[in-house]
Structure 1
Amino acid sequence: MIRVSTLKHSGLLCLGLAAAVLAGAGRPARADVKLPAIFGSHMVLQQGQKDRVWGWADPGEIVSVTIANQSKIATADNDGKWLVTLDSMMVGGPHTMVVKGKNTITFDDVLIGEVWLCSGQSNMQWAVDATYDADLETRTANHPKIRLITVPQVGTQEPQTDFNGKWEVCNPETVKSFSAVGYFFGRQLHETLGVPIGLIDDSWGGSACEAWVRKDLLAADEAYKPLLERWEQQEKALPEAMARYEKALAEWKETAEKAKAEGKPAPRQPQNPEDALRGNHRPANIYNGVLKPTIGYGLRGVIWYQGESNAPRAYQYRDLFPLMIKSWRDEWKIGDFPFYWVQLADFRAEKPEPAESDWAELREAQTMTMSKLPNTGEAVIIDIGEDKDIHPRNKQDVAKRLARWALAKDYGIDLAHQSPTYKSMEKNGNKVTLTFDHVGGGLEAFDVHDPIGFSIAGSDHKFVWAKAKIVGHNKVEVWADDVSEPVAVRYAWADNPVCNLFSRERLPATPFRTDDWPGVTINAK
């Protein structure tokens, strides 16, 4: 699923970073006043919000933070931790922030604007220089008021307080390895609003949703017991696994040396079983190593692109994903901040006949989250995937659809932002009339005259392709000659559906089903 050559870090580099960060981030050095890397020169602080600034010093040491004609004072507690809360600031800058205790730290070129966290797995991590038109995009990325920071990939069960990273000014060089969806999203906001934009990239390719959630929250729910038990068993089996690995590694080295001497390619090196325990699937690993050091930093909201790794457990995702969002909001303590995600794109081979699909079920779970939590939204991209590549290169349109949500919901701009969604169905003989919400200027079929992508079934649960036509501003009539008594309709219900229903604003209709028949992932734990 991950193409290491295009991602920020290879697996070996990630492990090296993990070792470095774990060695220095868990217990920051005392004596001098110190702040985590999330604070620094060129950072953007969230406007219109009481931003928190924190760090470490000697216990009892008095620390002052001064910026934009205000100064706040805190006293380090017995553990050497201190925190100040700045008064709300208006868009502007550059400012200088001075943090003073026994020593003085100065951060220059600090802007006040809008801050967004960009998170998820490889499709969020996918870099600008690996997208379509990367040569053009990077050459024009001179945006001094867009600032970027990337959190290294560290997987651990121990909560981290800091990371190795720094804020950078957006330019053709710094943007190349940054999240493409994040950058294009931020650029759209910047060009539309005319304010500084700060983007925090903490994505990790191939990551599972449970790795972004605190372990105690998962342990409190019986539904995740099998998941946690699998990892506990893997940890208990580690000594034996390591013994087998060491033996296999020694044998591999001999074989590799022999192959080299004979001019032959070396066999694949055995996988270290510790890698999985430090990796991106273990529950709480990414929460502790990547997310935790950023929690509390002032932000407007989060954009998220993940789900591929959880598709085999799509029914579980119905509760796991909302749990993750709610837990992040609870810890940030700034209310129900905006959380917008990308629904999975079309991927894998097209099927000649209607079939079940774990990817369709994962998309359904994503859509359900909007009805479970406030201030959430989904960018539907069922039209811009690639059947042979899990990483579609068109990240520009993905970002624009996310930006529509933010601009409309958070910045008061009148824009179409939500894809058409199924509302209700009415049967009339062998035909079903479907009604949709959020149709904007009305429904239309792209490329050909009538909508395609619908299937229909009777009480036997056997779906066949349906004929369809738009019969009103927000209505579609669906039928199949071989189904005299239809009871269920599905649209774009496939790994890679062939479908063409849009709003006139070119937002694709959200995949859906009218039935609640058990899916292929219903029992997956």
Structure 2
Amino acid sequence: MRQLHHKYLILFLVCLTAMAFPQQLMAQLRCPQLFSDHMVLQRDIPISVWGWANPLEKITVSLDGSEALVVADEKGEWVAKLPKRPVGGPYQLTVKGANEQLVFSDVLMGDVWFASGQSNMEHPMAGWPWIPYSGINDYEKEMADVDYHQVRLFQVPKMPMPVPAVDYEESAWSLPSEESLELFSSTAWFFAKQLNQQLNIPIGIIHGSWGGTPIRSWLSAEVATQFAKELDLQPPPENFDPNDWRNAELASLDNAYERRMTISFPKTDYLPEMALDFDDSGWQETNPIDEDTHFENVVWARKEVRVPEKFAKGPFELSLGVLNRESRVYVNGQELGFFLYSQPAKFEVPVGLIKPGKNVIGVRLATPFGVTSFEGDAEAFVLSHINGKFAVSLADSWRFQNDKKEGFGTITNHYSRPTYLYNGMVAPATNYGLKGFIWYQGEADASRAELYGKMFPTMISDWRTKWGLGDLAFLFVQITSIETSHDIGTPNSSWSQLRQVQKETLKLPNTGMAVTIDLGDPYDVHPKNKVEFGRRLALQALDVAYNEPVEANGPSPLSASLEGKEVVVRFSANIELKKNRVGLGASFELAGEDGQFLPATGEVKGNKLYIHSGTVAEPKAVRFDWSNDPEYYIINKAGLPASPFVLELDK
């Protein structure tokens, strides 16, 4: 179990500081793990090479004719500077001490990008081992196109730390391959691949992200202190021992992995609990949508249904309201489908699966956090013949058996503590030359948009300061669309303010935002079309970091005014209105003097959006796509969408 777990997590010890274990650092000539064969060094800036040796040891660093001589200080630390170089390679980088020599081969000069964030940046090509069916779209096709020798990958080990680390451990650069990409960030890979194709230069990606993490985890201590009133800042543990910390975190991550695997996957493909002839007489009986019904994090549920012989040939439709969360649905032991997140559970039952007489509808519900539940009105739970002449309610008289999954040992949540991921996963890279950053995070902070609007730009400025290379390009994804409510169809705009503060962050210089309001999966927080996410970030890079003549952004509104009884929003070029895949939220809204936005209707003609309302007599403001999963979106000729916006009408 540990070996499989470590293959994904690449859980290597992140060292603390030279003071924490000086003997280890000074035992031999050593460079950080970021220096390895196949590395990419940042072109066109002085090259920093650093490491550890014996105190006062002379170190010679050489690269393709350039050489630097330095002497380690009393702690054994040294830093050498080589002159900047253009795109090129492959080279050898040599670090020579008094008695030892390090040789790094196949070194390229190119552009290095640091990729970070939460799960949508982490989203591996093959998906997470513990999340069923989570691989990206067209996985096998994409894996057949990975031979890009100029693209190099560095996976940052996962390890939260209470103080800044000076190095990663047991990490190395790798070439793209099925093995190295299987569990690598899909968004970062497609970004790097696109840039390499467009620019024909080496691209290195340092990827360090962690699913479900809030922005506070990625703040340095200096920034976190600025938000001390809002954050639960605590000093490092007393009598801190790095080995004890490492062992505890590895054990925690192993326990979390085992727990998630056990929750997500039944022990075998065949589940006798779902079979027609399974004896469930010892199970409890309930109406699953009763408020008093209590399920654990895993529950098995069965409902017996009798079908007259004249209707048994079907075809049938099965509706089970909304199932929360991971749900496997069975009819007479045959699995009909799997849902990872809450969505309307509707199925066409294959002809012949329903039998005359007794039938059993089975459900296995599981959730990694909280408890499972059946949601929706009683009318949404029904098995019906498509001809409408036969239907049976499934809203009551279910038998169920809780199967609580627990006892996996200690599981910590240090990954969500302020500064801990900056310390363990960002700090060790701050001396390594970069071209810029790509960032996909924000879902975990959707309920704290106002605070996020302060933290995010502050974090960007701080990271730039830590690297000391000026206003490095910082490109980020505006969070996409989703249905976040179990009450599917109920207007919900909980993510809108977060999108807005992300957009306001563009006030910082050298930033770019990939708008993805059209790319979301309404029932999966992890859209699988990551090719397009990476492509749009690459367009931002070509525009912001490379000054290439590309169309990187969707249409932006220029003005809004009242013309007769219509509100007209003008854009700089022609636009097109597109219907969303599901789109249950309002796209067009108008507000009067009271500031209350009400749904309206809209249409596009040329470069103008016309919005009509029968309820707002004197509009003062217009709002577009201000819902989690809006019904429509607007694109330009390049197919890029407009970001959600709010405009006051011209006076």
Q: Name the TM tier (shorter chain).
A: 0.7 to 0.9
* 1:468 maps to which of 602, 623, 644: 602
* Cα offset, 1:216, TM superposition: 2.9
1:505 matched to 2:642? The reply is: no
* 2:205 maps to which of 199, 202, 207: 199
Query: Aligned residue for 1:3?
Result: none
Query: Aligned residue for 2:495?
Result: 359
Give CA-to-partner distance per residue, 1:238-267, whole Å, 9 cap, x none.
Answer: xxxx9xxxxxx9xxxxxx9xxx9xx99974
Q: Which has the higher strand share?
A: 2
Q: Which moved more, 1:131-140 or 1:479-488?
A: 479-488
Give CA-to-partner distance per residue, 1:204-236, whole Å, 9 cap, x none.
Answer: 111111111112322234xx413225x68999x
Query: Aligned residue for 1:174?
Result: 180
In the alignment, structure 1 segments of 5+ residues that lack a partner are 1-7, 236-241, 243-248, 250-255, 517-525
Query: What code does the residue aligned with 1:207 have?
Result: T
SS in 2 for 1:58: coil
Please tell me whether the aligned partners of residues 354 and 494 of structure 1 are also in contact (alpha carbons under 8 angstroms).
no
The 5-angstrom pairing of residues 314-393 of structure 1 reads: 314-348=449-483, 355=491, 357-371=493-507, 373-393=508-528
Residues 234 and 466 of structure 1: CA distance in aligned 2, closer, same or farther (over 3 Å): farther
Please tell me whether the aligned partners of residues 367 and 378 of structure 1 are also in contact (alpha carbons under 8 angstroms).
yes
Give CA-to-partner distance per residue, 1:61-102, whole Å, 9 cap, x none.
Answer: 111110021001222122221111221111111100100112
Query: Aligned residue for 1:227?
Result: 231
Give CA-to-partner distance per residue, 1:185-206, whole Å, 9 cap, x none.
Answer: 1001111111111111111111
If the length of structure 1 is used for normalisation, what is the TM-score? 0.83
Give CA-to-partner distance per residue, 1:88-128, whole Å, 9 cap, x none.
Answer: 11111110010011210000110111111111111111111
* 1:486 maps to which of 605, 619, 624: 619
* Cα offset, 1:461, TM superposition: 3.2
* Cα offset, 1:58, TM superposition: 1.6
SS in 2 for 1:149: strand
The 5-angstrom pairing of residues 43-122 of structure 1 reads: 43-102=39-98, 103-122=100-119
Q: Across the two proteins, how many residue pairs are aligned to each other? A: 471
SS in 1 for 2:103: strand
Q: Which has the higher helix share?
A: 1
1:269 matched to 2:411? The reply is: no
Give CA-to-partner distance per residue, 1:323-368, whole Å, 9 cap, x none.
Answer: 1111000010000010000111111158898945221111111101
Task: Give the Cα–Cα distance (whole angstroms) in 1 for the partners of residues 532 and 411 of structure 2.
Answer: 38
* Cα offset, 1:408, TM superposition: 2.2
Please tell me whether the aligned partners of residues 39 and 204 of structure 2 are also in contact (alpha carbons under 8 angstroms).
yes
Query: Aligned residue for 2:132?
Result: none
Residues 11 and 234 of structure 1: CA distance in aligned 2, closer, same or farther (over 3 Å): farther
Task: Give the Cα–Cα distance (whole angstroms) in 2 for the partners of residues 398 and 150 of structure 1.
Answer: 19
Task: Give the Cα–Cα distance (whole angstroms) in 1 for the partners of residues 237 and 431 of structure 2.
Answer: 33
Query: What code does the residue aligned with 1:269 have?
Result: E
Query: Aligned residue for 2:14?
Result: 21
SS in 2 for 1:216: helix
1:404 matched to 2:553? The reply is: no
The 5-angstrom pairing of residues 415-494 of structure 1 reads: 415-436=550-571, 441-446=573-578, 453-473=587-607, 475-494=608-627
Query: Aligned residue for 1:239?
Result: none
Please tell me whether the aligned partners of residues 126 and 179 of structure 1 are also in contact (alpha carbons under 8 angstroms).
yes
Query: What code does the residue aligned with 2:31 have?
Result: L
In the alignment, structure 2 segments of 5+ residues that lack a partner are 127-134, 239-247, 249-254, 256-261, 268-272, 274-400, 581-585
* Cα offset, 1:463, TM superposition: 2.4
Query: What code does the residue aligned with 1:205 have?
Result: G
Please tell me whether the aligned partners of residues 56 and 81 of structure 1 are also in contact (alpha carbons under 8 angstroms).
yes
* Cα offset, 1:485, TM superposition: 0.7
Task: Give the Cα–Cα distance (whole angstroms) in 2 for the partners of residues 51 and 213 of structure 1.
Answer: 26
If the length of structure 2 is used for normalisation, what is the TM-score? 0.67
1:148 matched to 2:153? The reply is: yes
Query: What code does the residue aligned with 2:141 have?
Result: L
Please tell me whether the aligned partners of residues 219 and 228 of structure 1 are also in contact (alpha carbons under 8 angstroms).
no
* Cα offset, 1:509, TM superposition: 0.7
* Cα offset, 1:384, TM superposition: 1.0
* Cα offset, 1:141, TM superposition: 0.6
CA RMSD of aligned residues (A): 3.1
Please tell me whether the aligned partners of residues 569 and 609 of structure 2 are also in contact (alpha carbons under 8 angstroms).
yes
Please tell me whether the aligned partners of residues 151 and 202 of structure 1 are also in contact (alpha carbons under 8 angstroms).
yes
Please tell me whether the aligned partners of residues 354 and 465 of structure 1 are also in contact (alpha carbons under 8 angstroms).
no
Query: What code does the residue aligned with 2:229 have?
Result: K
Query: Aligned residue for 1:42?
Result: 38
* Cα offset, 1:508, TM superposition: 0.5
